[in-house]
Structure 1
């Protein structure tokens, strides 16, 4: 058969193109059985509630009893609340209320934080667990054996030593949470634990802190904080009372019950 230079060159070019076609195939270098990386699922919540409208008027009247004694126009101003200054209302919002009357003042604040993970391999929920665990660790809740519990991805667990003295809320080494001297049982239920602690059946994880402090010669004020996480949203409720008399001590039980009741209402609202 006669040798045709043009035909031979054409065959060589076709063969070269066929051999190099795999270089343009994105799957050509994939190894058999190599895992496929998929983005972590987003959190349940994409928006946050309007914070200053998140608490019903009836609840505000109960938490800020002194406001009912004010003139109507001042009452309205108290119940409207003051929104927290924030630069991204999709990520964090809050509201504050304050009631000042001659015998005592009460302050209420709520904050909503929507946690978003910018790492495609970490879900919003997992990132929210980390943020919540940091808050719980900062509270240094007391635990049996002096351990400080903190939330892990599998749930609450003891992780570090150095918790607060058992039987005392934060900032009160010499008093019980009810504000009575150590050893006194007057007006308290000895079976009721009012120490800072983890809370059950509130969101995915929750804890309560209770701090009694005095600034200079002023009356003691007590702040009860309830923090809970539900999916990728973390909610903080802070409820403070400061009596006008230096000798009076705010009662833990009342403040804790009301702060927890509000936190549970907010959790239900988020779940709707």
Structure 2
């Protein structure tokens, strides 16, 4: 009968490994699974955003609203008119993260474009909430819009008054252009003229919102005005972009009309998010 060779070194090695494994599993608290008694409780992850999905954008604008925003569509042939009101969905790779739609209608005198972009922001940092991350994205859009500073009141310079009760006021401190016995002129604040249609922060739309208004007058395509309304509700950012392009033979697009229509649509979408 053949016998297996006996190797003393291997036997010793096996015994050492067995001893090491026993030591690691002992209750002395020195193993890899030992818990540091001084470590505090793990920080709770930041809360997720309110929204987990997005609504379908092309069907989110009622046809009555589209007729108002795209007046040229009514003059198109029936097939083209239906396509104008149907809109074209934006190409995205994850409809739970970002969706969009665009509409257009052209006439000989003017053309109108409407674009809708809806983004659901997700934070991949457990210490930063979805809402905080969405606010950072929104702030970046607002900074990029470069909104003008709101006007500030200014005052006319005042003439220093001479000390009360001092004897012998000098000519430098005594006004010479004010009639004797008349009251000192009171400086009145002056405010730079505004129209109320400047790009600005909006109140009462989502949690934060702003409006941008840009008129372009050059180029062979004529003058066009772009009004953008951007607002954030929780971790969703909505952008409404409304463009009217006019030929050189007519007046430039009316800012007030475009702003009103864009804001009305933005309010409708904000209500949709609250449903």
TM-score, normalized by the shorter chain, greater than 0.5: yes
What displacement does 1:17 show? 9.3
Counterpart in the other structure of 1:194:
197
The answer to whether 1:230 aligns with 2:270 is: no
1:52-111 Cα shifts (integer Å, max 9, x gaps): 111111110110011112222211010010011111111111000000011210000000
Aligned residues of 1:202 and 1:264 also touching (Cα < 8 A) = yes
Secondary structure at 1:212 match in 2: strand
- Please identify which structure carries the higher strand content: 1
Tell me how far 1:214 sits from its aligned partner.
2.8
Aligned to 2:29: 22
Provide Cα deviations, 1:231-254, integer angstroms capped at 9, x if missing partner. 000000000001123452000000
Matched, 1:97 2:103: yes
How far apart, CA to CA, are the structure 1 residues paired with 2:209 and 2:150?
Answer: 18
Q: 2:129 aligns with which of 103, 123, 128?
A: 123
Q: Which has the larger radius of gyration?
A: 2
Q: Distance in 2 between matches of 1:86 and 1:208?
A: 25
Residue 47 of structure 1 corresponds to 53
- Match of residue 206 from structure 1: 209
* Match in the other structure for 1:132: 138
How far does residue 198 in structure 1 lie from its aligned partner after superposition? Answer: 0.2
User: Displacement of 1:20 after TM fit?
Assistant: 3.1
2: distance between equivalents of 1:119 and 1:244? 49
- Looking at structure 2, the residues matched to 17 and 65 of structure 1 have their Cα atoms a distance apart, in angstroms, of 79
Instruction: Give the TM-score normalised by the residue count of structure 1.
Output: 0.73
Structure 2: how far apart are the matches of 1:76 and 1:271?
Answer: 29
| Mean CA deviation greater in 258-267 or 19-28 | 19-28
1-structure distance, mates of 2:117, 2:51: 15
Give the counterpart of 1:250 among 236, 253, 275: 253
Structure 1: runs of 5+ lacking an equivalent: 1-15, 147-189
Q: Following the alignment from structure 1 to structure 2, what is the Cα–Cα distance between the partners of residues 95 and 210? A: 21
User: Residue in 1 aligned with 2:242?
Assistant: 239
CA contact (8 A) 1:218 1:246 kept: no
The answer as to whether partners of 1:199 and 1:205 remain within 8 angstroms in 2 is: yes
Q: How well do the aligned residues superpose, as a CA RMSD in angstroms?
A: 2.2
1:18-55 deviations in whole A, cap 9, x for unaligned? 973434696741327x2531111110000011011111
Length, aligned pairs only: 213
Helix, strand or coil for the counterpart of 1:52? Answer: coil
